[in-house]
Structure formats: C-alpha cells, structure tokens
Chain A
C-alpha cells in the first residue's frame, strides 16, 4: 500500500529525517511513536509533499509520488489531518467539509453518513470553523479528510490537547473505519494507551531514524515506554 524507502527530509538546510523506510499494508492501522522533535510530523509532511525530500522513494499503491506536488498526492487518495487541525477559520463548518471533497473531481455532494460518525458536526454546520473548540475542530478535521473516502489517512496527534471523552469517540471512529477494512491509516501519536487500543503495528522513531517496530499485540508496552520516555 504505502512503501517508503531511503527517505531524507530537510527544513531549509537542516536534515530532519535520515534514510527512513516504512511499509504499511492494505487495511492496516499503523502508529508512529516517538518523543517530541524526533521528526514524526515531518515524516507525515514529507508523505504529503510539504517539506523538501531530495532523496528516497514514496510508493503509493505502486505509484511513485515523491515528485508530485501536494495537491496531486491528495488526488491519489491521501487524506491528511495535520497536528494543528488546520481548519479554515473563516469558513463555515459546512464549507470546511465541502473542501474535503476537492479530491473527488466528479462528486460534489456531501454524503450524510459522515454525520453518523461525528453527530456533533451536524448541529453546527453554519458556524465558523474557527469558533469551534479544539475537540470539535479535531473531529471536523478528521471528518473533512474522510468525506472523500481516502485510501490512506494520515493523522497527526489526534489526541493532543483533547478531553478523554472525545479521545474515546475518536478511537471509536478509527476502530469502526478499521472494521470496514477499506481504509489504511498512519497515526502519529504519543499517547501509548490510545495507540495500543487502535493500532495493528507500530514504529518508534528517534532522532530522525526508526529505532523499533513490531506488532502491537505481541509487544510489551514497557519496552515502547522505555524508548519514548524522556
């Protein structure tokens, strides 16, 4: 599904990621763990084409996308939920959702089923995106990525700064999507329990390199904890 190999990423002149390789199988939920500043977000950004990636290869379903501009990568079927959620603050919730459909060139009507996943959004369609609370913005950002039914969903710290009940709702949505089996997810996260709850496979990153990987079912949580604790 997604096959990244030998990837380097730069911010300006400073190198952030060195020779990263990572594979995700169809229908898998994969988590990328690690301390702050080790390059997790940069990794998602390099898949999205938002940072400089001079070396390496990113294959999505057998297509090389590393040379494509961001918008074409999105058209290939990647949905992206960035760390700051990046809701368009002066657009209504409804307009934000409609923008999620930009990836589907011939489909411009919103599928009502998205409100089943996030009922809270239906009650505030007319409100400005910027007026929503953090948790609501997070749900809106995930919904916006989902309306166009992406092949690959990238989630950057979906639990950051969010109250436990909404984290549970988000976990429920992820598990529901997983059970349908037609979506592959890469989640960047620091919240270990959440990861063990939703993910099939994990990678741990440190200083721009992958230092550990494994199946979430067979791993001893303490081993991961040791790698990501400060």
Chain B
C-alpha cells in the first residue's frame, strides 16, 4: 500500500515539474508557433542562476540568512531567464515567425551554443546546489511513508505559477492583448496593438517560466549543461498531448505523462516504461490529433 501511494506521489511530483517546464513552452508554441528547441537550455539557465545566487549568498551574506537565498534565486531565475529569452526574441526568433521548420533548426543551434557556453563558464561536470534547510525532511504520513518537503514545495510552486499565468492571461489588459494576437495577429495589429512588443514580452514570460522550472529542478539533484536536454522531449510531448495554447491542456498533458512515466516504470523498467508512454501518446494522437483540449468555436467565413 505505502509503495503505491509513494508511486502516485512521485508521479504527481514528476508531473508538476513537467507542467512548469511545459507551461512556458505552451505559451511560446501556442502564441507564436515557434518550435523552441532551446527551451531546455532556458531551464538550464534558470538552474545555473540558482547556483550562482547560492554562491553569492555563501560568500557575501551572513550564514544565518543563507536559507532565504532560494527565494531570491527564484526571482532571479525568472528575471534573468526572461531577459535571455527577450534577447533571443529580438535577435533571432523575430525573423522566424511563420517558418516553423526554420525555427526548429535555428533554436536547436541556439541550444547547442547555450550548452557550450555553460560548459565554458561552469565546467562540464555537474555542480550541486545546496537546498535550503527549511526544505529538508518531510511529512510523515504513516509507517515509513514520508512525503518530502522539497517535492511538496515544487507542487505548491507549480500551482502558484499556473494560477499566476491564468490570472495574467485572462484577467489583465496585457493578457487580453496576448490572446488577441494569438487568435488573429492581423486584426490585433489593425486595432493598434503593438504586436512586436507583445511577441517579445510573451517570449520573455515563457522563458521566465522555464527559468523557474530550472530553479525548482536544483532541489531534486545536481545540475549540468545538459540538464535541459533531458526534459525537452517530455515537455514537447506534454504540449502536443494537451493541445496547443491551453493552460488546462498543459496541466492534463503533464499529469498523464508524469503519472504514466512513473507507473509504467514501476510496472516494467525505465526504458520499457518510456516506450509504453510513447506508444500510448502516439495511439492517442491518432484518435485526437489536436490533443486533449482544442480551442473550438463557431468559425464563420473560414
């Protein structure tokens, strides 16, 4: 019994990480139709920002306050990664709108450059980030079953991010502009919305969310230049499975893939588990090529 509960908990935990990583990608892919292969490297940047913040706190801040570094790291990861995303958009991505295949190749190139950059700055071996002490330990449910605070914290963080993104997209003026551009770029332009600004900002926010995901990942293990590569495939699968451009789809997609991964791995082994998950996704997409949640509406004159 305990094993099963723990498995389900782990499944949800994996899902929550995927959700966080996929949320940014879903926004970028949904709004701009840009296949951003460098999304994984944006996650990596977030992780290294956390590492650097930790080092700064170790060297310059009183030991008693060390534990709060993680809060600063979260903010820094978002801001810095968003800024990197912004630079990426105004230099490279903006030339690739409406050319999905080119965007795939170009962003893959960017991802290789970023990986090598990380290797040159931080070295090839993985580095460790020391988690704040308030996240050590866990809640003891019964017997040996313990739910670690770190994973609970990540789940809470993910829930906050999803609510934040939902509020931002659906309740604010800027969010309304973003959705307008997403649905009809030409008309949005004709109404006086500066689409260039909206594009750059959306890309920056999607990137910033990847940064938060990277920061959260440092709680679960050591980080290296290829950190993002491990996540990019699953993340894309979440977006495609969930349906492009919907938050609820991303949540559902991540839930299925995360739980599926852990369940199949538990029942078989790591590689066969992966194969099974992929097969299920392929079969599902045969049945519903648009993913779980599609934006449908009575479209006139189309």
Interface residues of A (CB under 8 A from B): 48-50, 69-71, 74-75, 80, 82, 84-86, 88-91, 95, 98-100, 102-103, 108, 128, 130-131, 134, 137, 144, 148, 161
Contact = CB atoms under 8 A, between A and B. Distances in A.
Interface string B191-204: 11111100000000
A134 B183 CA distance: 18
Nearest to A144: B191
B121 interface: no
Interface stretch (B77-85, B137-145, B223-231, B293-301): B293-301
A63 to B, nearest CB: 15
A131 B299 CA distance: 8
A50 B183 contact: no
A100 B173 CA distance: 12
Contacts, number: 84
Nearest to A100: B191
Interface of B: 173, 176-177, 179-180, 183-184, 186-196, 295, 297-302
B184 A86 contact: yes
B193 A99 contact: yes
A88 B187 contact: yes
A100 B299 CA distance: 20
A90 B300 contact: no
Given A88-B184, A89-B299, A98-B176, A50 B189 contact: yes
Contact of A84 (B297, B298, B301): B301
Contacts of B193: 71, 99, 102
A95 B299 contact: no
Contacts of A80: 190-191
A84 B300 CA distance: 8
A123 to B, nearest CB: 18
B191 A48 contact: no
Nearest to A75: B192
